[in-house]
Amino acid sequence: MRDENKSIHLEQLTAKLRKRTAVIGIIGLGYVGLPLALRYATVGFKVLGIDIDPAKVARLNQGMSYIEHIPSPAIAQARACRFEATGDFARASEADALIICVPTPLNAYREPDLSFVLGTAEALLPYVRTGQVVSLESTTYPGTTEEELKPRLASRGLTVGHDIFLVFSPEREDPGNPHFETRTIPKVCGGSSAACLEAGVALYSQAIDTVVPVSSTRAAELTKLLENIHRAVNIGLVNEMKIIADRMEIDIHEVINAAATKPFGFTPYFPGPGLGGHCIPIDPFYLTWKARQYGLHTRFIELAGEINSDMPHWVIGKLTDALNQQRRAVSGSRVLVLGIAYKKDVADMRESPSVELMELLRAKGALVDYADPHVPVFPPMREHRFDLTSVPLTPDTIASYDVVLLATSHSAFDYDLIRQHARLIVDTRGVFLEPLPNVVKA
């Protein structure tokens, strides 16, 4: 017997999701959307991926991947399991679930840029219909789902919570981490109403092992920000500790490893040349911007941001001092940057501190090259232009540079070879733990 208090649209939607006869629409087939699309296809759903990049769409429909850590056979398998990519937003009407996975960058004033989210919403709006669940996964400030998406759906004459269902469920991808995959990472989900939350849980529980419901979309939005701000603040702390330890001539990595032996009350974080990736350098600013609307100043968060933002300059200072010890100026020196992806063993260049290091070195007159097995050609970027390809690491090549700057510690690097043949190494990742005459910690 049907529950009279429950929308017939909700009953029909959840039934289709449970039976896996629903069509899942994923908008944005990047580092977040593509793994999610593959997961839904694997468990038996028909999946429609929508992306504005025609080259990406064509490549995926040929069963080929464009993301290094996602193999092409996984795409081909998904294609065989009813995954299709398209650039046609009109096909959104075919989907029972629409999951939005588009970027949320910062503008030139380091304020939230929701243009991708709002542009996607406007493109979808003519094609949304009753009986759909719409989920936003893009990281954003608390209130976005209710303030921006809900009124747009209402403008179509759809009652959220009765005709159509709206949730926020933040992405939790960690590219290159072999210990977690889309299925095994718990999924936080908040709904615009109780009925919306029920629809969201029904959607994600088909593909994710653990779904964590929260009371509202705003709580889910703040959950994502807390996760990344927690990391940003702790990295800021350990980066400041690195500067203090360096001045005291103490190896910060030795200290961190010793502290990590404590079985309670301490979580190790490791310093680096700055923050990278699409989340941690950006997400704290979404909260600081929103907090100002409530008359609040997020001093702790902003201080951590300042410390992390200054790290590339501190590293260049260490490199400059190291070259001075060898009676060389940065200007005219040949510098090889090892690793330009933002993290170990991935090809992702988003917000990479390595690129800022290259810019700072070039501004000082250095002749800059790079080596990165995951990035064979320096890609086009909005704010950075380098006409470079990855340098092969041979004994003669390594020895030809005045200094090797280790910025990203990829597993593929032969560190013994580098140590033996480099004239000078500036190590920002603590790879060379033992004291060596040609290694400077930074």
Give the integer Cα–Cα distance in Å for 421 and 393. 10
Helix (H) or strand (E) holding 86: strand 83-86
Positions of the chain with pLDDT under 70: 1-5
CA 69, chain centre distance (Å) = 14
Query: Can you give the residue range of the structural domain that contains 115?
Result: 8-215
Residues 91 and 200 in one domain: yes
222 within some domain:
no
Q: DSSP letter at 112? A: B
Give the integer Cα–Cα distance in Å for 127 and 158. 12
Closest CA to 289 of 115, 168, 140, 151: 140
Residues 43 and 180 in one domain: yes
Residues 203 and 306 in one domain: no
Residue 368: C-alpha distances to residues 23, 73, 337, 338 (Å): 49, 37, 7, 11
Residues 193 and 264 in one domain: no
Radius of gyration of the CA atoms of the chain, in A:
24
Residues 293 and 161 in one domain: no
Residue at a domain's end among 188, 215, 242: 215
223 within some domain:
no
Residues 202 and 266 in one domain: no
On whether the CB atoms of residues 215 and 191 are closer than 8 A, the answer is no
Give the integer Cα–Cα distance in Å for 136 and 166. 8
**pTM of the predicted structure, to 2 decimals:** 0.92
Residues 324 and 406 in one domain: yes
pLDDT (0 to 100) of residue 1: 41
Retrieve residue 417's tokens. Answer: 């070879």
pLDDT (0 to 100) of residue 383: 77
Residue at a domain's end among 161, 180, 215: 215
pLDDT (0 to 100) of residue 5: 61
CA 124, chain centre distance (Å) = 24
Q: What is the full DSSP assignment across 296-363?
A: ---HHHHHHHHHHHHHHHHHHHHHHHHHHHTT--STT-EEEEE--SSSTT----TT-HHHHHHHHHHH
Retrieve residue 161's tokens. Answer: 């919570």
Residues 306 and 418 in one domain: yes
- Interaxial angle between packed helices 299-325 and 217-247, expressed in degrees from 0 to 180 and rounded to the nearest 10: 30
286 within some domain:
yes
262 CB-near residues (< 8 Å, 6+ apart) = none
On whether the CB atoms of residues 423 and 413 are closer than 8 A, the answer is no
Q: What is the pLDDT of residues 49-93, one digit of tens each?
A: 999 999 999 999 999 999 988 999 999 999 999 999 999 999 999
356 within some domain:
yes
On whether the CB atoms of residues 359 and 294 are closer than 8 A, the answer is no
What CATH number is given to the structural domain containing 88? 3.40.50.720
1 within some domain:
no
On whether the CB atoms of residues 294 and 143 are closer than 8 A, the answer is no
User: How many Cβ atoms are within 10 Å of 96's Cβ, its own excluded?
Assistant: 21
Residues 28 and 129 in one domain: yes
Closest CA to 212 of 227, 201, 224: 201
User: How many Cβ atoms are within 10 Å of 402's Cβ, its own excluded?
Assistant: 20
Residues 271 and 418 in one domain: yes
253 within some domain:
no
- Interaxial angle between packed helices 217-247 and 252-259, expressed in degrees from 0 to 180 and rounded to the nearest 10: 130
251 within some domain:
no
Residue at a domain's end among 161, 183, 215: 215
Residues 410 and 301 in one domain: yes
Domain count of the fold of the chain: 2
Give the integer Cα–Cα distance in Å for 87 and 379. 23
Closest CA to 340 of 323, 357, 324: 357
CA 318, chain centre distance (Å) = 28
Q: What is the pLDDT of residues 342-397, one digit of tens each?
A: 999 999 998 899 999 999 999 999 999 999 999 999 998 877 889 999 999 999 99
2 within some domain:
no
Residue 250: C-alpha distances to residues 217, 241, 246, 254, 320 (Å): 46, 10, 6, 8, 20
Residues 158 and 48 in one domain: yes
Q: Angle at the Cα of 110 (from 109 to 115), degrees rounded to 5?
A: 90
Catalogue the active-site residues. 279
101 CB-near residues (< 8 Å, 6+ apart) = 26, 27, 28, 29, 30, 32, 33, 36, 137, 138, 171
Helix (H) or strand (E) holding 180: none
Residue with tokens 């009371």: 215
